[in-house]
Structure 1
Amino acid sequence: MTVTTTPQRDTLPARAPTAAAGQQRRRGRLKEALWGYAFIAPTGLGIAVFYLWPVLQTAYFSLTEWGAFGGHTWTGLDNYRRLSSDPEVGRALVNTLTYTGLGLLSIPLAIGFAVLLNRKGMRFVGFYRTLFFLPVVTMPVAIAMVWRWLYNGDYGLTNYLLSLIGIDGPNWVADPATALYALVVVGVWSSVGYNLIIFLAGLQAIPKEYYEAAAIDGAGPFRQFISVTLPLLSPTAFFVSVVSVIGSLQLFDLVYVMAGSGAGARANPAFPRLETVVQLFYDRAFVTNDRGYAAAIVMMLLLVIVVLTAVQFRFQKRWVHYA
């Protein structure tokens, strides 16, 4: 019997990449990297010129003292020592943090309105969305002037409506007991529309299958809101809270228009309850011309913003971990 054997081909090992091929790959990666840097260069240059450089310049100015006619001298940490013992800075910081904390009430309000506007079959949804969003596209100065008239103690609409039910309303912006809370109402009213649009987008991104499965399990509307809507809406709520806190800490225009600045504003008995950190910065930089100290104030505000944002990110990570 003849056995036919098939000759086996020798298996040759794969050739190691040559130096030329490796160099060609490195050139390709370098080319891709250069194209990437070229695409982000306009944005990066804008951030460096309009954001990073002013921050560095302000940090340097906070270590100097400015003369009345310009020019500055190096003083080191003197402005920060003065900052730590200035009661007006502490009061402005407390006012700002109080306004920021109370301003977060716009988030649950926006969630509630967004859920209502997201219901099926609701009529005039476009009209309601526009109505809520109008304050966002209105100039803050115009908003402040309108609310200043509404809050006027002599001829304001708010006190007129209260007088119809026998209540003698105060001069809202001039009364230390009500001034800051009146400001919070304006801030919440003007920010609900923006937050509502963001939450509406978050609600519409939630798959309907989750609600159908919850309904099959017997969950009612409230239970679906607690167990489905809120957990899946938490990333949106986190974004809105970060943006709201940063915006509230930089409050200036409402205070400037409703309370004024300089000696005229300080004649208002409620001004100590209205003065914010940015308002104090403005007074020191452009009214009293103490620019080095003003730079130290704004650097303190930057530190507060960074710390509070970091705390929010930390809580968000824990929320995601335990959810």
Structure 2
Amino acid sequence: MTTARAAHVAKRRGNRTQALWGYAFIAPTGLGLAIFNLWPVAQTAYFSFTEWGAFGGHTWTGLDNYTRLFADPEVGRAMLNTLTYTALGLIGIPLAIVFAALINRPGLRGVSVYRTAFFLPVVTMPVAVAMLWRWLYNGDYGLVNQALAVVGIDGPNWIADPATAMYALVVVGIWSSIGYNLIIFLAGMQAIPKELYEAAAMDGAGRVRQFFAITLPMLSPTAFFISIISVIGSLQLFDLVFVMTGSGQAARANPAYARLQTVVQLFYERAFVTNDRGYAAAIVIALLVLIAALTVVQFRLQRRWVHYV
């Protein structure tokens, strides 16, 4: 064997060994992903084509659940509510950018205190957040209405009034997530080269002009990431609605129930209250398809935005 041939064989063996070690290192994560994520999705997709009995067991029904799903007005209403909440919740992204810009000002004192204050709702349990805001929104003794009464405004029962229920829920969602978005945007702002701002200042650009000409364009990848996770999280909304309105007959007694019911809440009721698990699986698969479709749309819009910038 020639020297070149031997070197080539040794290199191939080395590459093979490195590849095997790489596969060995990612095997635990890959197995966990397959067992706890991919397999449940495949199993749910299969169950969406079945009908479950009252005492367990299931039979294949084909597309019956999906035919029923597209004809069910409650599913359409829940989809609309979820999309409305998602769209309104995106208001939290520009708010987070503005607050991050204010905190990122040079020479600002107590930055760590502001970061902690904004991030505190993120590390608070969603159930605790929902219970707190349910008490604040109470129409009889809630602090929100008490504060409005001071200026002579008679506040509604925020969660029970169909006209205000969705907006009240969106406020809670923004309040509980703005801290996470703010920290991510703050990290993105601090990664922007200072030379860009110095050059803009030498050209006579003020802080507002620098914000729109430098900060926002440089933050577009960060804003894209935040928009992706915000949309996915909003489409999976459940805990806030469940705690603030309840489920089953208690929730349906709420006059604003039709404005607050989300897709995941509907899935929960069909799967664990009425035990219609096959139909519930079809609902959650439809939600999965919606999330994937919106994510693809966001990626396409991001590419156009980058090309435009």
User: Which residue type is aligned with residue 217 of structure 2?
Assistant: P
| Counterpart in the other structure of 1:76 | 62
| Counterpart in the other structure of 1:151 | 137
SS in 1 for 2:163: coil
Instruction: Compute the displacement of 1:20 (Å).
Output: 4.6
Instruction: Compute the displacement of 1:109 (Å).
Output: 0.6
Instruction: Compute the displacement of 1:24 (Å).
Output: 3.0
1:311 to 292, 297, 301: 297
2:112 to 116, 122, 126: 126
SS in 1 for 2:219: helix
The change in CA–CA distance for 1:16 and 1:314 in structure 2 (over 3 A counts) is farther
Instruction: Compute the displacement of 1:16 (Å).
Output: 7.4
Instruction: Compute the displacement of 1:263 (Å).
Output: 1.1
| Counterpart in the other structure of 2:102 | 116
Gaps of 5+ in 2: none
> Cα deviations across residues 164-191 of structure 1 (Å, max 9, x unaligned)?
1111111110011111110000001111
2:82 to 91, 96, 100: 96
> Cα deviations across residues 103-156 of structure 1 (Å, max 9, x unaligned)?
011101100000000011111111111000000000000000010011111111
**CA–CA distance in 1 between the matches of 2:4 and 2:143?**
84
Gaps of 5+ in 1: 1-14
| Counterpart in the other structure of 1:263 | 249
**CA–CA distance in 2 between the matches of 1:305 and 1:164?**
43
SS in 1 for 2:302: helix
Instruction: Compute the displacement of 1:321 (Å).
Output: 1.4
Matches within 5 A, 1:29-68: 29-68=15-54
User: Which residue type is aligned with residue 72 of structure 2?
Assistant: D
SS in 2 for 1:212: helix
1:216 to 190, 202, 218: 202
When structure 1 is superposed on structure 2, of 247-256 and 156-165 the one drifting more is 156-165
User: Which residue type is aligned with residue 227 of structure 2?
Assistant: S
**CA–CA distance in 2 between the matches of 1:257 and 1:25?**
60
Instruction: Compute the displacement of 1:317 (Å).
Output: 1.0
Q: How many residues end up aligned between the 2 structures?
A: 309
| Counterpart in the other structure of 1:300 | 286
SS in 2 for 1:50: helix
**CA–CA distance in 1 between the matches of 2:160 and 2:49?**
36
User: Which residue type is aligned with residue 209 of structure 1?
Assistant: E
User: Which residue type is aligned with residue 300 of structure 1?
Assistant: A
The change in CA–CA distance for 1:19 and 1:122 in structure 2 (over 3 A counts) is closer
**CA–CA distance in 1 between the matches of 2:215 and 2:192?**
8
User: Which residue type is aligned with residue 10 of structure 2?
Assistant: Q
User: Which residue type is aligned with residue 257 of structure 2?
Assistant: F
**CA–CA distance in 2 between the matches of 1:76 and 1:26?**
50
SS in 1 for 2:157: coil
Instruction: Compute the displacement of 1:28 (Å).
Output: 2.0
SS in 2 for 1:65: strand
**CA–CA distance in 1 between the matches of 2:215 and 2:250?**
49
User: Which residue type is aligned with residue 219 of structure 1?
Assistant: A
Matches within 5 A, 1:170-319: 170-319=156-305
User: Which residue type is aligned with residue 118 of structure 2?
Assistant: F
**Structure with the higher helix share, 1 or 2:** 2
When structure 1 is superposed on structure 2, of 35-44 and 285-294 the one drifting more is 35-44
Instruction: Compute the displacement of 1:21 (Å).
Output: 4.2
